[in-house]
Amino acid sequence: MAKKYDVIIIGGGPAGLTAGLYTARTRLKSLLIEKGMVGGNMVEAGWIDNYPGFPDGISGFELAQLMYQQATKYGLETLYATVRAIDNQDRKKVVKTTEGDFIAKAVVITGGSERQKLGVPGEKEFTGRGVSYCSTCDAPFFQGKPVAVVGGGNAAVSEALHLSKFAARVTVTHRRDQLRATPILQEKAFAEAKIDFLWHTVVEAIEGKDSVERLKLHNLKTGERSTLSVAGIFVSIGLKPNTDYLKSIVPLDDLGLIITNEKMETEVAGIFAAGDIRHNSIRQVIAASGDGAIAAIQAKEFITG
């Protein structure tokens, strides 16, 4: 027989951990399902200094562990598995996983989005030590230092503009000969004296000793290979939301993000979404946590109402 819960939370990032804290504290029988490491993308942040309550900052890993400890203190259960599907049966949701089926009265989806990786040597090794995927999180650590941004869309150009307020020099590398960002963002970037552009260029390797020191570059047009000295590299080549299994369950936008209202409700009664996985998320830890709290409160009202 499938085990029954009041609430099942899919995804163990800040949104999921906060949702679990709130549902467990209200004595709802709650299960958190996580396919990887608790904390989600937050764990990749070497240091977080913009989360309230930690004036000296805190590592993403430590913050994730503290959130997890607080949630499990109130009885939140954890299952490490991959969710395959959700079968919506009126007031009952059957969550199908690699570890079997589980039944809940309400489901909160907080699976987040996976940042697209370059897949080059050194990227994994230097993540948190010069390799970053979030300038809002890490730009202050590169005050007066040269950095690179990889990408050509709105996100990448926005990252470069934000970094220009801190870094000595920002070099944008793009595999094409023109940006995909909106004209207004392009105009701002081209007008910023601190930002340079390397066209037709890809990163082949990230090198250094204790932290990032240089990039190995390849010009796809000329074939020329070169080295760029930087203290950090910000990868901004897109996000892939973890929603492949939800395509026939809840409405998604063109990017595959879940569409919700301000109460984190989807169009399917009893299914909520919070954090980076939902449409219009600002992809910040504090915002994801707020989403998780809202979703948990609304899930309780759905169950008890």
pLDDT in tens, 168-193: 999 999 999 999 999 999 999 999 99
Residue 254 catalytic? no
pLDDT at 115 (0 to 100)? 82
Give the C-alpha distances (Å, rounded to integers) separating 218 from 117, 169, 198, 199, 221: 17, 20, 10, 10, 9
Catalytic residue among 56, 87, 90, 138: 138
- How far is 120 from 242, CA to CA, in rounded Å? 22
The DSSP H or E segment spanning 273 is: strand 271-273
- Strands (DSSP E) found in 90-220: 92-97, 100-109, 113-115, 131-132, 146-150, 169-173, 195-198, 201-208, 212-219
Catalytic residue among 56, 101, 134, 177: 134
Reported pTM: 0.75
Architecture of the domain delimited by 117-235: 3-Layer(bba) Sandwich (3.50)
pLDDT at 46 (0 to 100)? 64
CB 75 within 8 A of CB 30: yes
**Token pair in block for residue 40:** 């989600």
- How far is 248 from 67, CA to CA, in rounded Å? 32
Query: If you search the block for the tokens 């919070």, which residue do you land on?
Result: 274
Cα 215-217-220 angle, rounded to 5 deg: 160
Catalytic residue among 137, 210, 253, 291: 137
Instruction: Give domain limits for the chain.
Output: 3-114+239-304, 117-235
Residue 49 catalytic? no
89 or 297, which is more confident: 297
Q: Give me the chain's average pLDDT, please.
A: 94
Neighbours of 181 (CB within 10 A): 21
Confidence of residue 45 (pLDDT cuts 50, 70, 90): low
Does this chain's domain 3-114+239-304 share its CATH topology with 117-235?
Answer: yes
The DSSP H or E segment spanning 289 is: helix 285-304
CATH of the structural domain 3-114+239-304, one choice from 3.40.228.10, 3.40.50.300, 3.50.50.60, 3.30.450.20: 3.50.50.60
- The C-alpha torsion from 67 through 68 and 73 to 76, rounded to 10°, is 120
